[in-house]
Amino acid sequence: MLGNRAVAYKGPGEVDVIDIDYPTFELKDGPGVNPANVGREVRHGAILKTVSTNICGSDQHMVRGRTTAPKDLVLGHEITGEVVETGPDVEFIKVGDIVSVPFNIACGRCRNCKEQKTGICLNVNPDRPGSAYGYVDMGGWVGGQADYVLVPYADWNLLKFPDRDQALEKILDLTMLSDIFPTGFHGAKTAGVGVGSTVYIAGAGPVGLAAAASAQLLGAAVVIVGDLNESRLAQARSFGCETIDVSKGDPASQIEQLLGVPEVDCGVDAVGFEAHGYGEDAAAEAPATVLNSLMGLTAAGGALGIPGLYVTGDPGGVDEAAKVGSLSLRFGLGWAKSHAFTTGQCPVMKYNRQLMMAILHDKVQIAKAVNAQPISLEDAPRGYAEFDAGAATKYVLNPHGYLNA
């Protein structure tokens, strides 16, 4: 039996590489596994040898202790892999295929999946619609920051790359298809970005940078990215974005300096529930700041794409309301301006094939946009620490050396 190493949450601010069981076609008990999922047979699954698996800002929320994640939860929902074994019910996916794994786990059979709402599949999480690998309250499917990982409903979930050699040549870009590229694209698309749009993206982390690259791909005339972190703003400028430092004051007034008016056509929240204020309040956490700001600076009739993560349980929330995900929003303003809002997990399968083709045919360089850097699995604790400290880097774990070439 092959061994299996994985990155696990050990407590607030701490991750470690531990030994775990090699995957089987049955979901076993373990940290975070929903009791109703224990013993679940996965005859429709595939076991992957991990090609690459990325550290995500959503993982960082857990590692900071801002969720109810249990100790030893295996992390990782951004997975690209090589199929090494398939279950007896898998028909089309074959051993040797190089594949992207959508972070949403979806059955392909329920009403929501059939309507392309794969982020809220009804059959994979006994607690509520929607599931993901290695994430708190998502059903307990083991994370992919590991040597090997099990993927259920393989024929449905896995996006096979059409040419192995071409895929491995562009693997650092293709690894972004599991989450942040579709998520950023979803944020831009649901904000209504199109040819000639002016766009403000709050947050210059990897999802915000992916949203910015997506807005350019969709034909935006001006893409403005706001953040408190100068190195991340510099990364946004590196591929043609305008930037504003929200520590210097109200984003709307800075947008007016760029556009001549204090508003944009489209707004994207790529920050989520750990948002801070702006100007003199930039040091203080204020979870509703970004949403309220976006309602203020998005033109009447515009839309807000909200790929930034919001949670129903936050032990570190600034007040009792925030601890249960209740925020003080200026919803009346958004209503008065006829804004549209799109929230929730990105339905990755709605976009990943098209974005794969854009990568394979050199229409976008997403790895360059988000400053992707491969590191070893053993270096994951360092990657988490540097990312948490504000590094303008998308860390990509490389357990088996596929990215070395």
Clarify whether residues 105 and 199 are in a common domain.
Answer: no
Check whether 232 has a pLDDT greater than 80: yes
32 or 219, greater pLDDT: 219
Amino acid at 367: A
- Per the prediction, the chain carries an average pLDDT of 95
331-381 pLDDT tens trace = 999 999 999 999 999 999 999 999 999 999 999 999 999 999 999 999 999
Clarify whether residues 191 and 102 are in a common domain.
Answer: no
At 279, the pLDDT band (50, 70, 90 cuts) reads confident
At 129, the pLDDT band (50, 70, 90 cuts) reads very high
Clarify whether residues 28 and 41 are in a common domain.
Answer: yes
DSSP single-letter state for residue 221 = S
Beta strands at 14-19 and 5-11: parallel, antiparallel or unpaired: antiparallel
Quickly list DSSP for 341-390.
EE-S---GGGTHHHHHHHHHTTS--HHHHTTEEEE-GGGHHHHHHHHHTT
Lookup: tokens for 120: 């809220």
Q: What is the number of domains present in the chain?
A: 2
For residue 404, what pLDDT is reported?
A: 84
- Spatial distance between the Cα atoms of 355 and 227, rounded to a whole number of angstroms: 26
Strand residues in 157-281 grouped as ranges (E)? 159-160, 198-202, 222-227, 242-245, 264-269
Do the beta carbons of residue 171 and residue 51 sit within 8 Å?
A: yes
Beta strands at 198-202 and 222-227: parallel, antiparallel or unpaired: parallel
- Spatial distance between the Cα atoms of 147 and 378, rounded to a whole number of angstroms: 11
Nearest-CA neighbor of 218 among 266, 252, 158, 262? 266
At 281, the pLDDT band (50, 70, 90 cuts) reads confident
Please measure the distance between the N-terminal and C-terminal CA atoms of the chain and give it in whole angstroms.
Answer: 28
Q: How many CB atoms lie within 10 A of CB 121?
A: 27
Which segment of 7-21, 278-292, 384-398 scores lowest on mean pLDDT? 278-292
Clarify whether residues 33 and 89 are in a common domain.
Answer: yes
pTM across the whole model: 0.96
Do the beta carbons of residue 52 and residue 147 sit within 8 Å?
A: no
Please, what sign has the CA dihedral across residues 372, 355, 342, 191?
A: positive
Clarify whether residues 159 and 41 are in a common domain.
Answer: yes
- Spatial distance between the Cα atoms of 105 and 348, rounded to a whole number of angstroms: 10
What's the burial of 184, exposed, middle or buried (CB within 10 Å: 0-12/13-18/19+)?
buried
CA angle, residues 22, 28, 30, in degrees to nearest 5: 90
For residue 215, what pLDDT is reported?
A: 98
Of the residues 319, 342, 365, which one is the last residue of a structural domain? 342
Which residue range forms the structural domain that includes residue 297? 181-342
Clarify whether residues 160 and 19 are in a common domain.
Answer: yes
- Spatial distance between the Cα atoms of 369 and 374, rounded to a whole number of angstroms: 15
- Angle of helix 289-297 relative to helix 251-259, nearest 10 degrees, comes to 30
**Which stretches within 69-120 are classed as H helix?**
111-114
- Spatial distance between the Cα atoms of 144 and 399, rounded to a whole number of angstroms: 11
DSSP single-letter state for residue 25 = S
298-310 pLDDT tens trace = 999 999 999 999 9
For residue 194, what pLDDT is reported?
A: 98
For residue 316, what pLDDT is reported?
A: 87
Check whether 311 has a pLDDT greater than 90: no
For residue 210, what pLDDT is reported?
A: 98
CA angle, residues 97, 24, 38, in degrees to nearest 5: 130
Clarify whether residues 149 and 285 are in a common domain.
Answer: no
Mean pLDDT of 3-27: 96
What CATH number should be reported for the domain holding residue 291?
A: 3.40.50.720
In angstroms, how far is CA 341 from the centroid of its own chain?
18
Clarify whether residues 203 and 153 are in a common domain.
Answer: no
Do the beta carbons of residue 119 and residue 126 sit within 8 Å?
A: no
Clarify whether residues 125 and 237 are in a common domain.
Answer: no
- Spatial distance between the Cα atoms of 174 and 365, rounded to a whole number of angstroms: 10
Nearest-CA neighbor of 89 among 2, 156, 159, 1? 156
Clarify whether residues 167 and 142 are in a common domain.
Answer: yes
Of the residues 320, 342, 364, which one is the last residue of a structural domain? 342
**Which H or E run includes 78?**
none
Percentage above 70 pLDDT, the chain: 100
Percentage above 90 pLDDT, the chain: 88
- Spatial distance between the Cα atoms of 53 and 4, rounded to a whole number of angstroms: 14
For residue 1, what pLDDT is reported?
A: 60
Of the residues 327, 342, 357, which one is the last residue of a structural domain? 342
For residue 302, what pLDDT is reported?
A: 98
What CATH number should be reported for the domain holding residue 153?
A: 3.90.180.10
Check whether 405 has a pLDDT greater than 70: no
Phi and psi at 387, nearest 5°, equal -65, -40
Strand residues in 156-196 grouped as ranges (E)? 159-160
Check whether 273 has a pLDDT greater than 70: yes
Clarify whether residues 150 and 247 are in a common domain.
Answer: no
- Spatial distance between the Cα atoms of 377 and 383, rounded to a whole number of angstroms: 10
Clarify whether residues 169 and 274 are in a common domain.
Answer: no
